[in-house]
């Protein structure tokens, strides 16, 4: 079945440093989504990418979808303590029922 691998598993940074998490799928994706889960919270939808090579920005967050639609990345510029949490990617291979396969997530901790 479809697998979505995410690296790194953990990342600790100093406040102000940049952070990147990478997501790779074993199959071509029709779209990819990113979620953030704060400690003790539930996953919250951040963004969806659909087009090959697509790049989207949300303030300090930049999301990319690979040309082959099999990989994606999330880059945070100048991290802040509010960025702490686990970031998940989730891919969909198509089909009518829209079932996502989630990566295991990257836990980001930020030292103030």
Q: In the block, which residue shows the tokens 């930020």? A: 110
Number of H-type helices and E-type strands within the chain: 0, 11
Q: Which two tokens stand for residue 21?
A: 């998490």
Least CB distance to another protein at residue 55 (A):
15
Closest to another protein by CB, 90 or 108 = 90
Cis peptide before 8 (omega within 30 of 0): yes
Q: Binders of another protein among 6-65, rule CB under 8 A? A: 33, 35, 41-45, 48, 50
Query: In this structure, what DSSP letter does residue 52 have?
Result: T
| Smallest gap from residue 32 Cβ to another protein (A) | 11
Q: How far is the CB of 57 from another protein (least distance, A)?
A: 16
14-22, 59-67, 70-78, 91-99 -> range binding another protein (CB under 8 A): 91-99
Q: Are 97 and 57 in contact (CB under 8 A)?
A: no
Q: Establish if 112 lies at the interface with another protein (CB under 8 A).
A: no
With H, G, I as helix, E, B as strand and everything else as coil, classify residue 41. coil
Taking the complex as a whole, the smallest distance from the CB of residue 108 to another protein amounts, in Å, to: 15
3-class state of residue 82 by DSSP:
helix
Task: Provide the binding-site residues for another protein, judged by CB under 8 A.
Answer: 1, 33, 35, 41-45, 48, 50, 88, 90, 96-105
């Amino acid at each position: 079945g479809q697998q979505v691998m995410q690296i790194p598993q953990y990342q600790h940074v100093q406040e102000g440093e940049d952070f990147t998490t990478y997501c790779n799928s074993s199959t071509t994706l029709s779209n990819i989504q990113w979620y953030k889960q704060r400690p003790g919270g539930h996953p919250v939808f951040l963004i969806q990418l659909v087009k090959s090579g697509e790049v989207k920005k949300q303030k300090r967050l930049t999301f990319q979808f690979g040309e082959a639609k099999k990989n994606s990345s999330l880059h945070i510029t100048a991290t802040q303590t509010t960025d702490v949490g686990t970031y998940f990617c989730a891919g969909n291979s198509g089909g009518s029922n829209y079932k996502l396969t989630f990566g295991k997530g990257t836990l980001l901790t930020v030292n103030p």
